[in-house]
């Protein structure tokens, strides 16, 4: 009987170890994904700020697009989005 209990405890221990390893792997992946998304969002925000600042200084859209690597339509969208947010405040 003690042998049966011992085997069950070993199986339980293996299960909990596997669970903990899986949890740790999932947590690490989640943290990495969150970090990557945060960096991407920061880059996008910095690019938007640059576009808006250049526009506010009177720089042509075509020059802003060329400098930022965006299309003129994308530059226009960023400028229009920022204008609508300012009006809403």
Q: What is the pTM of this model?
A: 0.64
- Alpha carbon dihedral 54, 56, 60, 64, in 10-degree steps, equals 20
Rounded to 10°, the helix 72-88/2-56 angle is 90
Q: What is the pLDDT of residues 47-89, one digit of tens each?
A: 999 999 999 999 999 999 999 999 999 999 999 988 766 655 4
Q: What is the pLDDT of residue 54?
A: 96
Q: Are 65 and 71 in contact (CB under 8 A)?
A: yes
> What are the residue ranges spanned by the domains of the chain?
2-88
Q: Which residue has the higher pLDDT, 13 or 25?
A: 25
First to last CA, the chain: 74
Q: What is the pLDDT of residues 38-51, one digit of tens each?
A: 999 999 999 999 99
């Amino acid at each position: 009987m003690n042998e049966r209990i011992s085997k069950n405890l070993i199986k339980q221990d293996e299960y909990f170890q596997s669970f903990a390893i899986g949890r740790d792997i999932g947590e690490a992946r989640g943290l990495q994904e969150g970090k990557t998304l945060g960096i991407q969002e920061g880059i996008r925000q910095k690019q938007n700020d640059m576009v808006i600042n250049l526009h506010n200084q009177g720089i042509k859209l075509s020059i802003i697009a060329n400098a930022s690597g965006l299309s003129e339509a994308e530059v226009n969208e960023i400028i229009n989005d920022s204008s609508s947010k300012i009006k809403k405040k």
